[in-house]
Structure 1
Amino acid sequence: MKIEILFEDDYIIIVNKPNNVLIHNSYYARNIKDDTLLDLLEKQLNHSFYPIHRLDRKTSGVLALAKKKEDVAVFQQLFNSNTIQKTYLGIVRGFAKESQLIDSPVKNPDTKVYKDAETICNCLFSVELPIAVHPYKNSRYSLVELKPTTGRMHQLRIHMNKISHPLVGDYKYGDRFHNRMFETEFNCHNLFLHAQSLSFTHPKSYKTITITAKLPKDWKTIFEKFKWNFKV
């Protein structure tokens, strides 16, 4: 598997992470034996990298990594100080509101302590299909733009479940009937959550950097089926 490189300089590399690829080995994914993103990048570029932030294994999209371990903290400060803009796209069950703020706390899986979490959700497109999904005769979906201002584990997946618009393809927090329909009707088996862009001021060069990652091919299939005029 070749990883798409979106940006590179002397300090960092930004890539388009595929669905279903772990960034690195962890206790939570101890049963997964496939190559991690770090493994794949080291084979591809003959260089070790250090993650600056994280994406869930099933989430695709923009991911930044440092070339030197000592630079990780410098770039992480952008996330800690909320001076970096992160934009995600998701396909969810139901008709989402045009715009809303979700500010439900999210539980840390290690400490079991709830922490404040905030996500801005904007609906871009909606559709109703004549395809029955239990318990209804028709099914409804929305394409949403998600902008988290905090970075809790599984935050977006939990928040969309909280407002009754779970992400399609999410088998932990989602709706299994709609997940199954996407698999049988459209042959789409991945989580529909994509880190579309990052925008920040580079702490070394002081340049404004904006990086956008193309969507996986499943999204093009769905946009064509749903007649959503959105550039993949």
Structure 2
Amino acid sequence: MPVSKLIEAPEITELTILYQDEWLVAVDKPAGMLVHRSFLDKHETRFVMQTLRDQLGQHVFPVHRLDRPTSGVLLFALSSEVARLLSEQNANQHWHKGYLAVVRGYLQQGGTLDYPLKEQQDNIADKFSDPNKEAQAAITDYLPLAQVELPIPVSRYPAARYSLVALSPRTGRKHQLRRHLAHLRHPIVGDTSHGDGKHNRLFREHLNCAHLLLMAKQLILTHPIHGTKLCIEASLVSWRPLLQQLGWPEDESFYRQALATLYKEQV
């Protein structure tokens, strides 16, 4: 497989809006973009929150977050009261969150991982936190969707194996999906904190893919004002070249069905 030259992502001046009404708005967050300003990334100049505010011409209120390298559905409220209602829904685990990930190795069967996680602390932001705090409950449902073997040597192995996986976290711990997949010994490709550098390099050099392969594909919730069910989906467009190279499904309905199967485990 030929080595592809990496192409830098263009500057984001406008976000893709996935859903909008007078109370809330959801966008398709690009990989590598911070949700809001942080003193931990003082030199960063691009933020979802500020970009969306300028795009809409009004204030927006974050109600959950995605890690910087994660792409996909990100929801904002358009008032502080709606933000409170949505945050309560999220905290009470009333949302269904569906993710897609590419992981190292063949994940043979689905299941539910109930594995508590110690709170990850930052040396600056969490310097006054208790380092001896007990591990918090963390539960993730997972389902393998497809596998591939690439004829590219990695370490002592003559070929490299990967799985496409659907994920649905029941809890919202920091880096939960990345840490849970690493615990299963199937780290997410592109994860520089919990992943495998050799496989990350393979995707950079051979598949023109230099970012974390974790997407918040779908968010299902009850509208906080009129009570209707909302299903908000991120597009596969940014992943389609990779899916084509690996021979994996590109049909959106395939992933809707897979995520619906995972949600049934959470009822």
Range class of TM-score, shorter chain: over 0.9
Which residue of 1 is the match for residue 16 of structure 2?
Answer: 4
Q: Find the counterpart in structure 2 of residue 182 from structure 1.
A: 203
Structure 1 residues 48-87: aligned runs within 5 Å? 48-87=59-98
Is 2:27 the partner of 1:15? Answer: yes
Tell me the residue number matched to 2:244.
224
Which protein has the bigger strand share? Answer: 1
1:49-96 deviation digits (Å, cap 9, x = unpaired): 111111001000001101112321211111111111000000000001
Structure 2 counterpart of 1:25: 37
Give, in angstroms, the shift of residue 40 of structure 1. 0.9
For 1:23, the aligned partner's letter is V
Kindly report which structure 2 residues correspond to 1:104-119, keeping only aligned pairs within 5 A, or say none.
104-108=115-119, 109=121, 110=126, 111=129, 112=131, 113=133, 114-119=135-140
2:189 aligned partner: 168
**Residue 195 in 1 paired to residue 213 in 2?**
no
| In structure 2, distance between residues paired with 1:167 and 1:53 | 22
Partner of 1:208: 229
Per-residue CA shift, 1:131-152, capped at 9, x if unaligned? 1111311100000000000011
Which has more radius of gyration? 2
- 2:100 pairs with one of 76, 81, 89: 89
> For residue 131 of structure 1, what is the aligned residue in structure 2?
152
Q: CA RMSD, aligned part only?
A: 1.3
Aligned length: 230
Distance verdict in 2 for CA 1:216–1:173, change over 3 Å = farther
- Matches of 2:105 and 2:48, distance apart in 1: 33
Following superposition, the deviation at residue 30 of structure 1 comes to 2.6
Q: Structure 2: any 5+ residue segments left out of the alignment?
A: 1-11, 253-267
Provide the identity percentage: 37
Match of 1:158 in 2: 179
Question: 2:29 is matched by which residue type in structure 1?
Answer: K
| 1:194 and 1:215 in contact (8 A); partners too | no
How far the C-alpha of 1:216 sits from its partner, in A, is 4.8
Q: Distance in 2 between matches of 1:206 and 1:231?
A: 30
Q: Residue 169 of structure 1 aligns to which amino acid in structure 2?
A: G
TM-score, structure 2 normalization: 0.83
- TM-score for both structures, normalised by structure 1: 0.95
SS at match of 1:107: coil
Distance 2:57 2:224 in 1: 25
